[in-house]
Amino acid sequence: MKKNQNDFLKNLESQIKQSIPGHSVDCVIVGYKNYELQVLMVKQFSTDKWALPGGFIYKDEDLNDAATRVLKERTGVEYSFLEQFYTFGKYKRRDIDQVLDDLRKGKLNSPFTEEWFKQRFISTAFLALVDINQCDIKAGLYSDDCDWKPVSGLAELMFDHNQIVDKAIEKIKKQLDYLPIGKALLPKQFTMNDLQRLYESILQKKLDRGNFQKKILKLDVLIRKEKFYSGGAHKAPYLYEFDDEKYKRLLEEGIAFL
């Protein structure tokens, strides 16, 4: 898609004028595919750097609503697990010279945008857990590309975005019992094996099959549905769904599962 730089610059300036200075949001949007956690990344317009989807905060917009908006704009997802997890505020977290270089390369260097981007920015980071199959991802105006990247082996990202991703993954691991992992990341129906492999991919270790099944069933949040006939030679496993009400109550208490 060829973008008209003039329109683009005008659009950017208009958006800046509506936003509060010095504060942005960045979203670590996590999905699950190929037995691995995936993070949604955008390729910044006119650079070859990947970055987290993010944005500014409109002057009359709540901070958390800005993150909800970014999530929706990039994925189409409206209802999902979305929670702030850390505000990144190091004095030199952005390389201003690099920012200005990128603006010039993209021909976005009006005095107005340069002043804006030269500011120090504090960024509040949000963690979103989404079902990849429900996402309709879009690059948006200020990026050339948008794609899922496996968490392991991420390239060097813009600014401190690698650190932001690391902190999000650390949160997932540490607070596994308080996050709606299975419900948010898996499709509505799944097999016990799907659920176990999800936990294994996050914890980066094998779990005992019998033990896992026993513990999960003991939580009493799954509803057993019909069998899943894949046409393979294996015995058909059951499909499960989460019982929304029970699961919600359990999360509020903390699951204390593993």
Q: Which is nearer to its own copies, 76 or 89 (CB)?
A: 89
Does 57 participate in binding its own copies (rule CB under 8 A)?
yes
Does 120 participate in binding its own copies (rule CB under 8 A)?
yes
* CA torsion through residues 63, 183, 164, 142, sign: negative
Does 204 participate in binding its own copies (rule CB under 8 A)?
no
Q: Which is nearer to its own copies, 136 or 252 (CB)?
A: 252
CB of 123 to its own copies, least distance (A): 10
Q: Which is nearer to its own copies, 161 or 192 (CB)?
A: 161
Q: Which is nearer to its own copies, 90 or 214 (CB)?
A: 90
What is the Cα–Cα distance from 183 to 172, expressed in whole angstroms? Answer: 14
CB of 12 to its own copies, least distance (A): 20
Contacts (CB under 8 A) with its own copies, residues 141-170: none
Does 91 participate in binding its own copies (rule CB under 8 A)?
yes
Single-letter amino acid, residue 130 = V
Contacts with its own copies, residue ranges (CB under 8 A):
20-23, 57, 59-64, 84, 86-91, 120, 122, 124, 174, 178, 254, 256
